A and B are shown apart, each in its own frame.
Chain A
């Protein structure tokens, strides 16, 4: 019997989605270790046992200065080399909401261990305020091949700084051609918004309605929405009107597939299972 792959969930002052993130990972088949960032900074070798490192949502350090900035700074200062090595060895890194902001700030999503060179930013929502509501996402055909492309699913967002902003248009073209756009905000029927309904479909006003990105390996993934808040049948805001046959929320599938992919990646790394690609 294969043991469950280990997910290290990193918390620090202000992390606050750790409960639902641990719950989702456990239901998705992972073994979960909730660890304070400072313990990980002290002992980066703890990553060796893990298949996944997850930065959950919240307001790390109060989002003082900017969302995810301080935690991004701390990770970049002390943990970035170990994380790069971890990913190079097949490990998965997931950042959700504030975790996405942290990944962007560190430069990890762009393969950059230093500040100042980034081309991707998460800016204040176009309405200029925090917003909590449900949206629909589509899995794009991306380097995250473990996500079935074309599937549309509901999920909540809750953030004030989630608007994907790029240095220039060339960056967007490169993200597209490198298949690094993992998720987009779409209408419930899966079609793209037009300028008329853009803010209803994509409330933060993200460029090209981007909701999630990955790095060139496809193993560092960041997204603003919270799949872990749609894992029970009762999380959906309209469950009282939906059919009684739903046994789980649509966000659980995201975690389940990632856990499987991460565990296969780790197994491949250790040479136990031949590569299937």
Chain B
């Protein structure tokens, strides 16, 4: 007997006793649904985190130097040299100096933070210039009093829509605005768009110890992030001789670590939920055993008319598999519905990946087949004479 015929027979069997079939499937439905909800939420969470980190640049490396003492520092030029020596993995590097200072625009105090950066800072962050230009090498070399502002300055009413060419004061020094960066967030106060960038050579003057302790660099590709980090770390070690005195952190690596942790947590939770699939399987086995007893006579007839052991066995296994697969499909649909309702509560789009849906489906089929095996074997081994005598 072909698979298709067994399958049609199974569908027929299920459709003649719908309520019973539904109750048999219930364990599988609940099990699959909970696995789908958990993996859906986990996936939604991961997507959310990935989006967040991608906003910060996945190729970006943050370098922090905490080394103290004059013989244990590294010069800006040396940092640029390191980048140049490893240019196959490092595209750009830029100092990043946070300025403690007050920004005043036309007698108005702003809460904007000021950062001293290199000429490649724009490229490292993959930002675009909205109008004007970015800080250039000669601005840094000649310590020009120029600045680039975020799109907040083009949208607030301080300068109107065209701040380029206007002047603002940082700790009392006048800086000319030479460019505006495109909108990154939503152009509101305190957002990323609320920024003022100046040449790092000027920023260093504002800081007390006149050393640069942080840099940002970008790797040449997503794949070379780790190589870039290791290259920088190696060079820094040669200077500091102690890896506690510096840190090179890659956003991608943090994201990867977080995703790995997330995967483990989701895996454990899904595994726990998966136990209910086992219980569902036992439910199927139970009903199938009852069904074999009830249908002893049918089995006897089939055997008398020439059904071989494997015909009977495949009939019952396919019936169990079909029941449980149907339960799996219902469970997937139900789980996705629940996940899409829970998602918004956590502000995420909870949607399981296609491979976890396929996995849930194949596990439910597998559970049915596995737990259908014992009843099917029992049916196949029935003696036709005894089975026919059964009333």
Decide whether A and B assemble into one complex.
Answer: no
A residues adjacent to B (C-beta < 8 A): none
B residues adjacent to A (C-beta < 8 A): none
